[in-house]
Amino acid sequence: MALKATIFRAELDVADIDRGYFQHHTLTIARHPSETNERMMVRVLAFALNAHEHLAFGGGLSSDDEPDLWQKDLTGAIDLWIEVGLPDEKSVRRACGRAKRVVVYAYGARSLTLWWDAVRTQFARSANLSVFALTPAVSAALENLADRNMRLQCTIQDGEIWFASDQTTVQVELFALTQASMVTS
């Protein structure tokens, strides 16, 4: 018998002062049986950092053809493709061909450095790709926020990111490994 996804619910308030975006989101998050709480919470953080009325969770680990999150325009064209973790170079290249903008939120302690060394040159060719790294301390702190029913707040001001539950606040530091050179609307 196949294992089923575990369902998590999150009430997420985003106050992104830098973008002028202030919104409440009610999220239903399906955690794949092979997914860790750490990865799931990095997906939730990625949602908060890119929050938009059309941003949605994709198939992620359950589908080779869908990202962890994506935003489509009204015609179905993909404006934003978001991957979490250490995706393979081929899938990121394919995403760069399908979406206007691709963002990877990478984490993974020592494996992050090995992964980046292996893909850096190929990723440099993609003008619409941004890759950000989270420190092991941040991804572990995010993992501790995981709960079946979460109340979360994300505040972004002057490039500083604060992600909080009712019990804990995490200051999120993102390190830009590469940033998209093209400007998209």
DSSP annotation of 61 reads G
Q: CA 92 → CA 44, 46, 134, distances in Å?
A: 20, 16, 18
Question: What per-residue confidence (pLDDT) applies to 62?
Answer: 59
Measure CA of the first residue to CA of the last residue in the chain; give whole Å.
45
Is the Cα torsion angle 64, 70, 73, 79 positive or negative in sign? negative
Locate the domains of the chain by residue range: 6-178
DSSP annotation of 182 reads S
DSSP annotation of 86 reads -
Model confidence pTM above 0.85? yes
Confidence of residue 110 (pLDDT cuts 50, 70, 90): confident
Q: Does pLDDT of 61 surpass 70?
A: no
Percent of the chain whose pLDDT exceeds 70: 94
Confidence of residue 185 (pLDDT cuts 50, 70, 90): very low
DSSP annotation of 62 reads G
CATH number of 6-178: 3.10.640.10
